[in-house]
A and B are shown apart, each in its own frame.
Chain A
Amino acid sequence: MSDIIAARDEAEVADAVRTALSAGKTLEIRGHGSKRAVGRPSQTDLTLDLSALTGVTLYEPEELVLSARAATPRADIEDMLAASGQMLAFEPMDPAPLLGSAAGAGTTSGTLGGLFAVNLSGPRRISHGAVRDHALGIKAVSGRGEPFKSGGRVVKNVTGYDLPRLMAGAFGTLCVATEITLKVLPRPPMEETLVAKVASPEAAAAALSAAMGSSCEVSGAAFLPEGVAGRLPGLSGSPAVVALRLEGVAPSVSARRTMLRAVLAPFGAADVLETDASRALWLGVRDVAPFCGLGERAVWRISTEPMAGPALAARLAADLGGEAFCDWAGGLIWLCLPGESAHGDAVRAALAPHGGHATLIRATAAERARTPVFQPLDTALAALTKRVKESFDPGLVLNPGRMHAGM
Chain B
Amino acid sequence: MTGTAPGLRMPDADARVLARRSDIIADLKAIVPGEGVIAHEREMRPYESDALTAYKQLPLVVVLPSTTAQVAAVLKYCHDNEIRVVPRGAGTSLSGGALPLEDAVLLGLGKFNKILEIDTPNRCAVVQPGVTNLGISKAVDHLGFYYAPDPSSQIACTIGGNVAENSGGVHCLKYGLTTNNVLGAELVLITGEIVRLGGKHLDAGGLDLLSVVIGSEGLLGVVTEVTVRLLKKPDTARAVLVGFPTSEDAGECVARIIAAGIIPAGIEMMDKDAIAAAEAFVNVGYPLDVEALLIVELDGPEAECAHLLEEVTRIAQACNSVTLRVSTSEAERLGFWAGRKAAFPAVGRLSPDYLCMDGTIPRRQLPFVLARMRELGAKYGLRCANVFHAGDGNLHPLILYDANAPGELHAAESFGADILRLCVEVGGVLTGEHGVGVEKRDLMDTMFNEVDLAQQQRMKCAFDDKSLLNPGKVFPTLHRCAEFGRMHVSGGALPFPDLPRF
Contact = CB atoms under 8 A, between A and B. Distances in A.
A377 B196 CA distance: 10
Interface in B429-466: 429-436, 440, 444, 447-448, 451-453, 455-456, 458-463
Which bucket holds chain A's interface residue count?
35 or more
Interface in B278-326: 300-304, 306-308
B215 A158 contact: yes
A85 B262 CA distance: 11
A23 B500 CA distance: 12
A133 B256 CA distance: 24
A3 interface: yes
A390 interface: yes
Interface stretch (A91-99, A100-108, A165-173, A284-292): A165-173
A355 B200 contact: yes
Given A159-B431, A303-B202, A384-B209, A61 B259 contact: yes
Interface stretch (B16-24, B30-38, B388-396, B400-408): B388-396
B363 A385 contact: no
Contact of B207 (A4, A170, A303): A170
B451 A390 contact: no
B258 to A, nearest CB: 6
B389 A156 contact: yes
B502 to A, nearest CB: 4
Contacts of B453: 160
Contacts of B211: 132, 162, 165-166, 168
Nearest to A64: B258
Nearest to A383: B193
Interface stretch (B63-71, B80-88, B175-183, B344-352): B175-183
Interface in B477-502: 485, 487, 489-491, 494-496, 499-502
Interface in A201-225: 209, 212-215, 217
Contact of A394 (B428, B432, B485): B485
Contacts of B204: 169, 357
A160 B429 CA distance: 10
B485 to A, nearest CB: 7
Interface residues of B, number: 102
Given A152-B360, A165-B208, A356-B205, 12 more contacts: A22-B491, A23-B502, A62-B363, A133-B180, A159-B431, A159-B444, A160-B453, A189-B261, A213-B121, A251-B306, A303-B203, A306-B121
Interface of B: 120-123, 144-145, 165-166, 168, 172, 176-177, 179-180, 189, 193-197, 199-209, 211-212, 214-216, 232-235, 255-256, 258-259, 261-263, 300-304, 306-308, 360-364, 389, 392-394, 427-436, 440, 444, 447-448, 451-453, 455-456, 458-463, 474, 485, 487, 489-491, 494-496, 499-502
16 contacts: A16-B495, A19-B494, A119-B208, A146-B451, A154-B428, A159-B444, A161-B456, A170-B207, A186-B258, A213-B232, A248-B304, A305-B199, A305-B201, A357-B206, A389-B207, A391-B455
Interface of A: 3-5, 12, 15-16, 18-19, 21-23, 25, 60-65, 85, 119, 121, 125-126, 129-130, 132-133, 142, 144-150, 152-163, 165-166, 168-170, 173-174, 185-189, 209, 212-215, 217, 248-249, 251-252, 254-256, 259, 303-307, 328, 331-332, 355-359, 374-375, 377-378, 380-381, 383-385, 387-392, 394-395, 403-404
